[in-house]
Chains A and B, each alone.
Chain A
Amino acid sequence: MSIYTEKVLEHFKNPRNQGKIKDYDSFGEKGNPVCGDVMHIYIKVENDKIVDIGWETMGCAAAIATTSMLSELAKGKSLDEAMKLTKQDVSDELEGLPPVKMHCSNLAAEALHEAIKKYREKNKKKKTK
């Protein structure tokens, strides 16, 4: 029996939206190689909505599955809605994560928030110009 739920393993086996998107508008990153988990999230935004999302992850099955799930949850959402997504949402959608993986590997939501913040800052500057 695996320590992971069926859903985690399914996302690990068939990750959604994997890869860097070519013409992304913003990106966010979390983690570091010393911990063993690094996540990059790329977003494309139109009318304040995430129309495309891609990611790159180095990490364990939980790291890969949580990034994959987060990308599914975020795609099509408005930036405001996406900012409300939490690591708990990701874990719940995956029907749970082993406790030790909850904080070290479940970083995708934070990476997404960073991407959105960067996007907003960039746009603010554009508008003020």
Chain B
Amino acid sequence: MIYLDNTTTTKVDDKVLQEIEIYQKEKYGVAISDYSPEFSMSSKKVMDATQKIISEKINSNPDEMIFTSGQTEGNNYVLKGVPKGHIITTKIEHSSILKTCKSLEKQGYDVTYLDVNEEGNVDLNQLKESLRKDTVLVSIQHANQEVGTVQNIKEAGKVCKDHQALFHVDASHSFLRVPIDVEKMNIDLLTITSHLIHGPKGIGALYIRKPIRLKPLIQGTRIHNIPGIAGFGKAIELWKDKDNKKMRKQREKLIKEIGKIPNTVIFGSTEGSLPDVLSVNFKFIEGESIVLYLGMEDIVLSTGSACAGRGLKPSHVLEAMGYGEEDSHGSIRIGLSRYIENEDIDIFLKELKEVVNRLRDMSPIKG
């Protein structure tokens, strides 16, 4: 199987699994205070170790973060944890931001949704103009989950700092792929998740700059997902910069080769982009058919198009970038990982070209 759906989720690394198993079978105790049994103190050690490795990656202090169940919880925590007021976000965020904002609006919060240009970049001038006295939070994703566009977080952070507004960044898709520095970028709150870096599902972290305090999402003593935290830490340790380089090279090859197929649109930014995500549209055919035919050849990827799972609406990201329904029907999203070899890319390209030709041969619209 060639798994190219790594933007949805990734395979857990074997070494991560081994680490998880240790904390499920051997070191299963959980310390709920400093006076807990010595046996259970291993949980505290592994939590500290994971916090430390995250803090090294984002340049924070280890004690400036909490563990969450992942992106959705982290983002909900931030939005529901700030005082009532004006929130600024963008039109291309993950659903955990957009749906939560919609529900906050019903509760009397005011939300501004920033536009993006055709490459998916947020307009920072619009951000400046949208800031108000009662703006309690600005929430902008680091990189987009569909088209891979990376935002100018450093500039956005500067704007927020000048205005003294809290700045939250959802870095779920960029963590370890694109450098993040909460100090240099003036980030106050940062969401990350484990399942997109070959770690386990159901674990993530939220960086909260001291002395910021968010209203807790849930209350009471929590038995932490220690095996998940252990696996998360291991996954971070295993991610190497050479993986990013390998993926970026493969992505460049994909852009070059797919670009040769006529009537094809490659979405996203030509410059600032994730190394591992590529969204493409093939005109005159449907994304779901491409995905199903490729699935029959044991190649797994997702459609970015209308007819699969999202009702009949096109992706909100492509819509915000100015593409119409017609443009989003034949789109697919390719998500790379360190497990993809160059031969896999060659096989995928060969099959993709065949499938696109086959479907175009079937289509009454010839361009």
Which residues of A line the B interface, CB within 8 A? 9, 12-13, 15, 18-19, 29, 33-40, 56-61, 63-64, 100-101, 104-105
Report if A60-B325 is in contact (Cβ < 8 Å); known contacts: A15-B362, A100-B311, A100-B312: no
Minimum distance in angstroms from A100 CB to a CB of chain B: 7
Query: Cα distance A60–B362 when bound, in Å?
Result: 12
Query: Cα distance A18–B305 when bound, in Å?
Result: 24
In the bound complex, residues from chain B placing their C-beta under 8 Å from that of A18 are 362
Are B296 and A13 in touch, CB under 8 angstroms? yes
Are A29 and B292 in touch, CB under 8 angstroms? no
- Residues 294-314 of B, flagged 1 when their CB comes within 8 A of A and 0 if not, give 001000000001111001100
In the bound complex, residues from chain B placing their C-beta under 8 Å from that of A40 are 364
Q: Is the interface of A mostly helix, strand, loop or mixed?
A: mixed
Which residues of B line the A interface, CB within 8 A? 284-286, 288-289, 292, 296, 305-308, 311-312, 324-326, 329, 359, 361-365
Minimum distance in angstroms from B25 CB to a CB of chain A: 32
Are B326 and A33 in touch, CB under 8 angstroms? yes
Contact of A58 among B292, B296, B311, B363 (CB under 8 A): B363
Minimum distance in angstroms from A13 CB to a CB of chain B: 7
> In this complex, what residue of A is CB-closest to B314?
A36
Listed A/B pairs (9) with beta-carbon separation below 8 Å: A12-B289, A12-B292, A34-B324, A34-B325, A36-B312, A58-B284, A58-B286, A58-B362, A59-B307
Report if A59-B286 is in contact (Cβ < 8 Å); known contacts: A34-B324, A34-B325, A38-B365: yes
Query: Cα distance A104–B329 when bound, in Å?
Result: 13
In the bound complex, residues from chain A placing their C-beta under 8 Å from that of B365 are 33, 38, 58
In the bound complex, residues from chain A placing their C-beta under 8 Å from that of B359 are 58
Query: Cα distance A59–B365 when bound, in Å?
Result: 11
Are B312 and A34 in touch, CB under 8 angstroms? no
Query: Cα distance A104–B311 when bound, in Å?
Result: 11
Minimum distance in angstroms from B360 CB to a CB of chain A: 9
Query: Cα distance A18–B358 when bound, in Å?
Result: 11
Minimum distance in angstroms from B300 CB to a CB of chain A: 13
